[in-house]
Structure 1
């Protein structure tokens, strides 16, 4: 039986690559967008879902169950980036990134879990970030939102294991996508104490994304997970240096690791 898959945030970037790849592998994929249009540009079915609106989430999940009778895989991909010094970033923008990256993902999980429990099977894949394993300058809020989702994944995994449901996370490094276009950038304020450092870091961040890996690599890992009976809880997909940075954080004294990051970001 062809697996039925829901991929949130599938109109571009990693989400679109994952949805397209899984469709090619014979899965029936529902990708989502807040405002779906131009269906002809997608090989999978694109439906409306806004992770900030519970009624939108419920309607999308109900549509899938009504049409297919089941839901085998959720790829919780919808998210947003944010940059800026803590001192300069508006509090409402801080809350917005957590509403999308953390609470939005939780709300989608809460909508699909009753369906998966009824089936006594299912896989939930939460897309986090290698940035979620460390606090990064001018991206600490993004790091925190993704790090929180990593821990939520661990807890929920234990809660639902007895119902035949696997919950895992995949932390991507830098991928060549249009994520920068959808990121909230705190303005570079002329009178900011962080003006020069922040401007330099924006250039470094954008360069890292431009030189990133092909998002189809994420899709291949997710496909493997959906065909693994007992997958790991955490996966990392990135270049060697990105993955090694997590290892270094575990073994190095905090201040030495901080110095390495500061050197990379020219601080």
Structure 2
């Protein structure tokens, strides 16, 4: 019997790539979007879900279970980016990114878990970020929101393991997607103390995304995890240096690692 998979944020980018790849592998895939438009010939069904609206989350999960009788895998992929110096970034925008990247992901898990408990089996995959392992300059709020989801994943993994449910996370590095277009960018204020360095780093971030890996690599990683009997807790998908940066943070003194990051971002 084909596994039933629900993927949030599947109308574009990484989520769409995962949805297409898994459906081609024979899975029954449902993707979500805030405003689904099935105008193109997708190989999966796109349903309405806004992670900021609990009623839409419950409706989407219930729809999948009603149609398929089960929910085997949840891929929590929906998220948003944010850039800016912490001092210059509006606090309301900080709350918005946490509401999407952390609390939205938690609310989707809370909707899926009762069904998985009934089945006595299930897999939840939270898409975080390599940026969540370190506080990156001008991306501090994004790093913090993804790092928080990593820790919630660790806690939930222990809470639900005896129920037959696995919770893992996958941290991607830079991928060639349209994430930059959907980010909240704190304006480069004329009288900001960070004006020149922030602008230079905005240009650097966009260059990293443009030269990022193909999203198919994330799709392959998700497929492999689904087919692993005892999945690991943490997975990283990115180029060698991005993954190695996490290792360096573990072994280097804090200020030495900080200096490496500052040199990289020309601070």
TM-score range, shorter chain: over 0.9
Alignment of 1:36-115 (within 5 A): 36-115=36-115
CA offset at residue 41 of structure 1? 4.2
Cα distance in 2 for partners of 1:152, 1:25 equals: 30
Unaligned runs of 5+ in 1: none
Cα distance in 1 for partners of 2:79, 2:154 equals: 19
CA offset at residue 226 of structure 1? 0.7
> Secondary structure of 2:74's partner?
strand
Cα distance in 2 for partners of 1:41, 1:178 equals: 20
CA offset at residue 104 of structure 1? 0.1
Alignment of 1:150-161 (within 5 A): 150-161=150-161
Aligned length: 267
1:138 counterpart residue number: 138
Cα distance in 1 for partners of 2:206, 2:254 equals: 26
Cα distance in 2 for partners of 1:144, 1:41 equals: 37
CA offset at residue 40 of structure 1? 2.2
2:9 counterpart residue number: 9
CA offset at residue 229 of structure 1? 1.0
Cα distance in 2 for partners of 1:243, 1:227 equals: 23
Cα distance in 2 for partners of 1:113, 1:38 equals: 28
> Per-residue CA shift, 1:200-238, capped at 9, x if unaligned?
000111111111000111111111111111100000000
Unaligned runs of 5+ in 2: none
Cα distance in 2 for partners of 1:257, 1:238 equals: 19
Q: Is the CA contact 2:150–2:169 (under 8 Å) kept in the aligned structure 1?
A: yes
2:205 counterpart residue number: 205
CA offset at residue 38 of structure 1? 3.3
Q: Is the CA contact 1:176–1:213 (under 8 Å) kept in the aligned structure 2?
A: yes
> Secondary structure of 1:123's partner?
strand
Q: Is the CA contact 1:39–1:46 (under 8 Å) kept in the aligned structure 2?
A: no
Cα distance in 2 for partners of 1:138, 1:228 equals: 36
